[in-house]
Amino acid sequence: MANRKPKLRPRERDAIIQSLRAGVTPRTGLQHIQVGRVKEVEALLKDIERIMDGGSAFRLTIGDFGSGKSFFMQLIRIIALEKGLVTIHADLAPDRRLYATGGQARNLYAELMRNLSTRTKPDGNALTSVVERFITEARKKAKSSGEKVNTVIEKSLNRLTELVGGYDFAQVIEAYWEGHKEEDEQLKIDAVRWLRGEFLTRTDAKKALGVRSIVTDASVYDHLKLFSLFVRQAGYSGLLVICDEMVNLYKLSSKKARVSNYEQVLRMLNDCLQGSAEYIGFLFGGTPDFLYDPRKGLYSYEALQSRLAENTFAKAAGVIDYNSPTLHLASLAPEEVYVLLGNLRHVFASGDPEKYLIPDDALAAFLEHCSNKIGDAYFRTPEIQ
């Protein structure tokens, strides 16, 4: 195998190995173990470019457990950060949904905002940095134009006030600037808390910031659209929203709750397809059951089934339509799994070919052993445990 591979820092090596041993996707160093998925990555790159140009994108990444969905979405997140986008990501859970009436949707929003990342802060908790960058940009414009900073901020956020919840959103950003100017740390903290969706009552929000609304279950999607425009004003290229474990919606026992969440998915899909959303993209990950099940999956909702159905002409011709909102992760070829094993060997050796623990022949023998013992399933779900 080719040995022209970069060396790894000890911290990066340990992070990759610990994550893989725990059966989770590494947060760093994905480039050292990534194989295959070339067409899928190219398709998502086009989506990112569309977001940067002021458009929107919606993708469902479908694959069995262990097929590499989380790894793939994490890779796309890193690419989006390198392209100058802001990313927010979270896993759905019983207490985190797209739509609810008991606080579960607000919980999801709060988790998304806690995981907000930028190129300079890829590990999350970057919300304050984004707001600070917006303030810095406003001060630069004010200095060059001779206007007051308040006036520049008001003009920059004027478009947001036309959207649902936009007026209070703009007021909160202005409150942050006031706290910055007056060195009022509590005011700044309250503004960030509001943006994170951490205020539970309107009374507390009004007392702290003078606004009449807060992030609620019903307003989560509206706030995501507001935030996509705000990050653009702060100098970023757009916003990418990544939600994994969408199968938790499929597992909801209440049909009414499932339908309400599927209606929210439909709303996002329609906005992206019709161009009603700007500078925002959605990347959701789920299992085939979550999509295809006619009783509980997305296909149980007729409007979603018609929009997410596979391209019959492409299917008949035996080709994959990478422009479809639904992206099915293909199985890794045996050759790709072989390269993956070689990459893992390289990681364990800290990038030094002299320290390889096993020869190339051992990789091929292990691959043959797994194929004989497990069969084709090894290539469909090659999750490293």
List CB contacts of 268: < 8 A, sequence separation 6 or more. 58, 221, 277, 282
Same domain as 312, residue 262: yes
Q: What is the pLDDT of residue 315?
A: 66
Residue 231 placed within a domain: no
pLDDT of residue 376 exceeding 90? no
> Structural domain of residue 261, as residue ranges?
38-96+238-328
Q: Is 186 within the bounds of a domain?
A: yes
Q: Which of 218, 248, 275 is the last residue of a domain?
A: 218
Question: How, if at all, do strands 56-62 and 280-286 pair?
Answer: parallel
Task: Scan for tokens 């799994």, then name that residue.
Answer: 337
In a domain, 117, yes or no: no
Note whether 76 and 31 are same-domain residues: no
pLDDT over threshold 70, residue 353: yes
Residue 299's identity, in one-letter code, is Y
What is the pLDDT at residue 53?
96
pLDDT band at 261 (very low <50, low <70, confident <90, very high): very high
**Spatial distance between the Cα atoms of 164 and 177, rounded to a whole number of angstroms:** 22
Share of the chain above pLDDT 70, in %: 94
Q: Binning pLDDT at 50, 70 and 90, where does residue 338 land?
A: confident
Angle between helices 127-145 and 220-233 (to 10 degrees): 50
Do residues 212 and 149 both lie within one domain? Answer: yes
Same domain for 24 and 73, yes or no, is no
Q: How confident is the model at residue 1 (pLDDT cuts 50, 70, 90)?
A: very low
Tokens 């308040």, located at residue: 150
| Predicted confidence (pLDDT) per residue in 20-36, tens digit | 787 777 777 777 777 77
Whole-number pLDDT of residue 203? 95
pLDDT band of residue 44 (cuts 50, 70, 90) is very high
User: Is the same domain home to 29 and 52?
Assistant: no
- Whether residue 205 is found in the same domain as residue 279: no
**Does position 382 have pLDDT exceeding 70, yes or no?**
no
pLDDT tier at 3, thresholds 50, 70, 90: very low
**Number of independent structural domains in the chain:** 3
Say if residue 133 is in the same domain as residue 191: yes
Among 218, 252, 273, identify where a domain stops: 218
- Do both 312 and 242 map to the same domain? yes
pLDDT at 385: 38
Does the pLDDT of residue 2 top 50, yes or no? no
Do 280 and 246 lie in a common domain?
Answer: yes
- The token duo for 38 is 């070339």
Look up residue 128 and give its two tokens: 């304050």
Contact between 83 and 90 under an 8 Å Cβ cutoff? The reply is: no
- In this structure, are 249 and 299 located in the same domain? yes
Average pLDDT of the segment spanning 221-241: 96
Last-in-domain residue among 281, 311, 328: 328
Quick one: pLDDT band at residue 114, thresholds 50, 70, 90? very high
Query: What average pLDDT does the chain have?
Result: 89
pLDDT digits (tens, 9 = 90+) for 77-105: 999 999 999 999 999 999 999 999 999 99
pLDDT, tens digit, 9 for 90 and up, residues 103-112: 999 999 999 9
Torsional class of 327: left (φ above 0), alpha (ψ -120 to 50), beta (otherwise)? beta
* Residue 105, domain member (yes or no): no
The CATH number given to whatever domain includes residue 316 is: 3.40.50
* pLDDT digits 0-9 by tens, 172-217: 999 999 999 999 999 999 999 999 999 999 999 999 999 999 999 9
In a domain, 162, yes or no: yes
Residue 92 lies inside a defined structural domain of this protein: yes
Examine the domain organization and report whether 282 and 319 are in the same domain. yes
- Using CA atoms in the order 238, 125, 63, 18, what is the torsion angle rounded to 10 degrees? 140
What pLDDT does 60 receive? Answer: 95
Burial of 84 (0-12, 13-18, 19+ CB in 10 A): middle
pLDDT band at 222 (very low <50, low <70, confident <90, very high): very high
pLDDT tens per residue across span 146-167: 999 999 999 999 989 889 999 9
User: Does the pLDDT of residue 326 top 60, yes or no?
Assistant: yes
